[in-house]
Amino acid sequence: MNLADKKRLLREMLFARRFEERCYEAYVERKIGGFLHLYSGEEACAHGVLEASKKGHDYVITSYRDHVHAIKCGADPKKVMAELYAKETGSSKGRGGSMHIFDVEHRFMGGYALVGGPFPLAAGMAKAIKMKGGDEIVICFLGDAANNQGTFHESLNMAKLWDLPVLYVCENNLYGIGTRIDRSTAVIDQYKRVSGYNIPSAQEDGQDIEKVFKAAKKAINHVRSGKGPYFLELMTYRYRGHSMSDSNAYRSKSEERMWSNRDPIIMLRDRLIEAGELTGEDYKAMDTEVLDEIEDEVIAFAESSPEPRVDELEKYTLAENDPWVYGGGR
Amino acid sequence: MAELMYWEAIRRAHDEEMTNDPLVICMGEDIGVAGGTYKATNGLYDKYGPERVIDTPISENGYTGLGIGASFLGVRPIIEIMSVNFAWLAMDQLFNSAAKVRYMSGGQLTAPVVVRSAGGTAHQLGAQHSARMEKVFMSIAGLRVVTPSNPRQAYGLLKSAVRCNDPVYINEHELMYNMKGEVPDEEYFHPLVGSEVAREGRDVTLFGYNISVHWCLQAAETLSKQYGIEAEVIDLFALAPLDRAGIVASVRKTHRAVIAEEAEPAVGVGAEVMAIINEECFFELDAAPVRVSAVNVPIPYNHTLEKAAIPNAGDVVAAVRKMLGK
Ligand SMILES: Cc1ncc(C[n+]2csc(CCOP(=O)(O)OP(=O)(O)O)c2C)c(N)n1
Ligand SMILES: [Mg+2]
């Protein structure tokens, strides 16, 4: 990771933070409906891992906390915001919403709302890659609490049994909604849980993007070299409530303070300043630029986009004009 | 035209589709080395190898999800779930992922998987091996549901299902795998929508699907020979979407309808067909439509009780006679 990369990543993470915080505002203004899960505080996880992957080549899948992963994969932030605004120009044409961002062109294979749902889907895409003989891999990001789903165990078993090219990234933010990990899970260190399936794994500081990047490089090399799945646990923290209806009442202020002292963006910023590669003024200018871009381009696009048409309500339910529905005859 | 058994027809469809397209695979419990519980994949493991004929762990939701994920990237999996009773465990992936992904991605992704499973009551298999679940599957938007009543349909429906871009659930029957029937020698693709007139008649329409088509045909024979009643039999091989037009056309002709189903009556195929009749041709009816359904109990082990729980051709005859006062 060279200096230019670090500066770019700083800006990308800052953009992600400001994007999410702007979503918060839009939700309060009732421009965004449904459930909204923000990624603030966890930026180094997605950015560090995906920086180590091949963009537009590797496949990525995750849960409902998905805006930032999609954007890092290459999804246009304007389309992501338009999706949150439920507009026809949204990435899923307003039919998906915050939890279901998709950008298949950039190989972002979706956000899914059932906790643990993506585990087997990721293994399946990896099976397809293996059959076709490509060197792509699948990267599946999920939370810590998702590991208590049956799909976790079923998928890890099959992924190892058939040595599928899939990297499972556990974003361990210590909570599943309001239940702290030690109250839901018998084994606290998630990376240890996969040893039962003979899958190599590691645990890393998820707040330090350089450490995440290094750990992810190693993990991705393992998977891409054909040695089968890998499990990477990243220790992180979400600043906001689980979703917008959550006030975080179950967490102590001191715990929150401890984590905000290890903010992934501030850590990288200060490192660059210390190295003399960036000034406080540079950072402020960067922030202003990001805020302007979000307001003038992203929000403006979402605001001015049209709603989906009611006469297209049923579109996308089933394939259109598929001749095999009629026995190939039409 | 050759006579094939139902399982042979399914096996032939697998074989042809796997030869035709190297991305067609099949997966499920004991389908490979062991050849499949109902032999539907017999011999394919030796022919196509373990990468394409996959013996899975007993992880219904997991391997169904894995097949769905593979289908995102162009693989065409045919997933066998040994028994419908175990398909409950795969409903999460089938309903939440496969059926919804096209819609919630705004048409960007599709899940062209086929899931086949054996349902129905058989020989004293007890409460946990006798489920009839088609009613559950047919209520899910984004999923196609078909159910073959004979080897020709079993063959042709699977062929079309593999090539269709939607997820398709194929509801087979425990008791029908050894049924014989004619299957075209040349390749044949059965439509995934519509219905078939299995017997022409004018006095009453008997609606059936899968095994209940055979009760209806048998009942129609009896009604014709013993009571001079000419029943039309409609085979609803497609349960989702149901053939609204076909249902209405036949009722407009006969003005009477009896629906035979092996499942419990609540929220079922019979209820749905009755609703369609009600909505579309109520004023053309000469009698209130009637359902012949299972009794709403967990299926008993005891043979006499089991028989009492499930309808048969005699029940269909009785329903028609009552309706016509004969
Ligand atoms: C199968 C299922 N059960 C319950 C829920 C409700 N739910 C949504 S998110 C969540 C917590 C998940 O926590 P984790 O996996 O750690 O991810 P995080 O939200 O912390 O990123 C729960 C219980 C759900 N969406 N799906
Ligand atoms: Mg969590």
DSSP B127: G
Spatial separation of the C-alpha atoms in residues A50 and B297, rounded to whole Å: 53
Tell how far the Cα of A27 is from the centroid of ligand 1, in angstroms: 20
How many domains does chain A fold into? 1
What's the N-to-C CA distance of chain A in angstroms? 55
The pLDDT of residue A330 is 45
Using an 8 Å Cβ cutoff, are B311 and B262 in contact?
Answer: yes
**B57:A324 CB<8 A:** no
- A-chain residues near B97 (CB < 8 A): 112, 114, 117, 121
**A129:B104 CB<8 A:** no
For the segment A143-162, the average pLDDT, to the nearest whole number, is 98
The pLDDT of residue A245 is 87
Burial class (CB within 10 angstroms; exposed 0-12, middle 13-18, buried 19+) of A265: buried
Using an 8 Å Cβ cutoff, are B204 and B231 in contact?
Answer: yes
- B-chain residues near A150 (CB < 8 A): 59, 61-62
For the segment B205-231, the average pLDDT, to the nearest whole number, is 98
Residue B307 token pair: 């028989």
Residue A87 lies in a domain: yes
Residue A247 lies in a domain: yes
Using an 8 Å Cβ cutoff, are A203 and A189 in contact?
Answer: yes
| DSSP assignments along B192-226, one per residue | SS--EEEE--SSEEEEE-THHHHHHHHHHHHHHHH
Pocket test for ligand 1, best of A43, A100, A115 (most atoms within 8 A of CB): A115
For the segment A29-48, the average pLDDT, to the nearest whole number, is 97
A313 lines ligand 1 (CB under 6 A): no
For the segment A36-48, the average pLDDT, to the nearest whole number, is 98
Tell how far the Cα of A20 is from the centroid of ligand 2, in angstroms: 17
Angle between helices A3-28 and A264-274 (to 10 degrees): 150
Spatial separation of the C-alpha atoms in residues A236 and A283, rounded to whole Å: 24
* Long-range own/partner contacts, residues A324-327 (CB < 8 A, 24 or more apart): A324/B160, A324/B161, A324/B163, A324/B164, A324/B165, A324/B189, A324/B192, A325/B144, A325/B160, A325/B164, A325/B166, A325/B191, A325/B192, A325/B193, A326/B191, A326/B192, A326/B193, A327/B156, A327/B160, A327/B189, A327/B190, A327/B191, A327/B192
- B-chain residues near A132 (CB < 8 A): 23, 73-74
Spatial separation of the C-alpha atoms in residues A125 and B65, rounded to whole Å: 10
Q: How far is B162 from chain A (nearest CA, A)?
A: 9
**A317:B103 CB<8 A:** yes
Q: Quote the mean pLDDT of chain B.
A: 97
Res. A247 pLDDT band, cuts 50 70 90: confident
**Positive or negative: CA dihedral B149, B154, B156, B158:** positive
State pLDDT tens for residues A85-130: 999 999 999 999 999 999 999 999 999 999 999 999 999 999 999 9
Using an 8 Å Cβ cutoff, are B187 and B19 in contact?
Answer: no
B108: nearest CB among A104, A123, A158: A104
- With pLDDT > 90 as the criterion, what percentage of chain B qualifies? 99
* Long-range own/partner contacts, residues B194-197 (CB < 8 A, 24 or more apart): B194/B237, B194/B238, B194/B243, B194/B246, B195/B234, B195/B235, B195/B236, B195/B237, B195/B238, B195/B243, B195/B246, B195/B247, B196/B234, B196/B235, B196/B237, B197/B232, B197/B233, B197/B234, B197/B235, B197/B250
**A120:B25 CB<8 A:** no
Using an 8 Å Cβ cutoff, are B49 and B33 in contact?
Answer: no
Res. A20 pLDDT band, cuts 50 70 90: very high
- Taking the mean position of all CA atoms in its chain, how far away is CA B45? 26
| DSSP assignments along A51-110, one per residue | HTS-TTTSEEEE-S--HHHHHHHT--HHHHHHHHTT-TTSTTTTSS-TT---BGGGTEEE
- Can you tell me whether residue A27 is helix, strand or coil? helix
Q: Quote the mean pLDDT of chain A.
A: 97
Active-site residue list of B: 60, 129
φ/ψ (deg, to 5) at B251: -65, -35
Residue A322 lies in a domain: no
Task: Please report, as a single letter, which amino acid is at residue B218.
Answer: Q
Residue B167: closest C-alpha in chain A: A318
A114 lines ligand 1 (CB under 6 A): yes
The pLDDT of residue B248 is 98
Which of these CATH numbers, 3.40.50.410, 3.50.50.60, 3.40.50.970, 1.10.3720.10, describes B2-183?
3.40.50.970
Res. A25 pLDDT band, cuts 50 70 90: very high
- With pLDDT > 70 as the criterion, what percentage of chain A qualifies? 99
A125: nearest CB among B73, B160, B192: B73
Spatial separation of the C-alpha atoms in residues A94 and A98, rounded to whole Å: 10
Strand partners, B5: B180
A65 lines ligand 1 (CB under 6 A): yes
Q: How far is A152 from chain B (nearest CA, A)?
A: 8
Residue A317 lies in a domain: no
Atom of ligand 1 nearest to the CA of B92: 1
Tell how far the Cα of A202 is from the centroid of ligand 2, in angstroms: 18
**A328:B163 CB<8 A:** yes
- A-chain residues near B109 (CB < 8 A): 102, 104, 109-110
State pLDDT tens for residues B148-187: 999 999 999 999 999 999 999 999 999 999 999 999 999 9
Place of tokens 């349902």: B119
Burial class (CB within 10 angstroms; exposed 0-12, middle 13-18, buried 19+) of B1: exposed
**Containing domain of residue A192, as a range?**
3-312
Element (H, E) at A203: strand A201-205
**A325:B97 CB<8 A:** no
* Domain CATH for A174: 3.40.50.970
Q: Are strands B231-235 and B196-199 parallel, antiparallel or unpaired?
A: antiparallel
Give the closest residue to B238 by CA, choosing from B193, B177, B300. B193
Tell how far the Cα of A183 is from the centroid of ligand 2, in angstroms: 12
- Taking the mean position of all CA atoms in its chain, how far away is CA B92? 20
Which of A80-84, A246-250, B252-256 shows the lowest per-residue confidence on average (mean pLDDT)? Answer: A246-250
State pLDDT tens for residues B118-139: 999 999 999 999 999 999 999 9
B75: nearest CB among A121, A131, A326: A131
Residue B66 above 80 pLDDT?
yes
Residue B219 token pair: 């009942």
Decide if B2-183 and B196-324 have a common fold.
Answer: yes
Spatial separation of the C-alpha atoms in residues A228 and A46, rounded to whole Å: 21
Give the closest residue to A68 by CA, choosing from A118, A25, A103, A96. A103
For the segment A287-301, the average pLDDT, to the nearest whole number, is 98
Which of A154-158, A243-247, B22-26, B273-277 shows the lowest per-residue confidence on average (mean pLDDT)? Answer: A243-247
Task: Please report, as a single letter, which amino acid is at residue A228.
Answer: G
**A104:B105 CB<8 A:** yes
Spatial separation of the C-alpha atoms in residues B229 and B208, rounded to whole Å: 18
Burial class (CB within 10 angstroms; exposed 0-12, middle 13-18, buried 19+) of B293: buried
Residue A159 lies in a domain: yes
Res. B283 pLDDT band, cuts 50 70 90: very high
What residue owns the CA closest to ligand 1's atom 7?
Answer: A115
Place of tokens 């993990």: A219
Cα-trace Rg, chain A: 20
B189 in contact with A at a CB cutoff of 8 Å? Answer: yes
**B166:A128 CB<8 A:** no
Tell how far the Cα of A147 is from the centroid of ligand 2, in angstroms: 10
User: Where do the structural domains in chain B lie, given as residue ranges?
Assistant: 2-183, 196-324
Spatial separation of the C-alpha atoms in residues A100 and A91, rounded to whole Å: 9
The pLDDT of residue A329 is 63
What residue owns the CA closest to ligand 1's atom 21?
Answer: A143
Residue B1 above 90 pLDDT?
no
Which pTM was predicted?
A: 0.98
Q: State the alpha helices, DSSP H only, in chain A.
A: 3-28, 43-51, 67-73, 77-84, 118-132, 150-161, 181-184, 190-193, 209-222, 253-260, 264-274, 280-293, 300-304
Give the residue from B72, B93, B104 with the most A CB atoms within 10 Å of its CB, the best one to mutate: B104
Using an 8 Å Cβ cutoff, are A310 and A90 in contact?
Answer: no
Q: What HEC string does A98-129 produce?
A: CCCCCEHHHCEEEECCCCCCHHHHHHHHHHHH
Which of these CATH numbers, 3.40.50.300, 3.30.450.90, 1.10.357.10, 3.40.50.920, describes B196-324?
3.40.50.920
Burial class (CB within 10 angstroms; exposed 0-12, middle 13-18, buried 19+) of A304: exposed
- Can you tell me whether residue B26 is helix, strand or coil? strand
Torsion of the alpha carbons at B233, B235, B241 and B245, rounded to the nearest 10: -30
Place of tokens 């600043």: A239
Residue B111 token pair: 């899940």
Give the closest residue to B227 by CA, choosing from B135, B318, B127, B144. B318
B20 in contact with A at a CB cutoff of 8 Å? Answer: no
- A-chain residues near B21 (CB < 8 A): none
CB contacts < 8 A, A to B, total 183
**A109:B104 CB<8 A:** no
Give the residue from A149, A151, A160, A318 with the most B CB atoms within 10 Å of its CB, the best one to mutate: A318
- A-chain residues near B96 (CB < 8 A): 112-114, 117
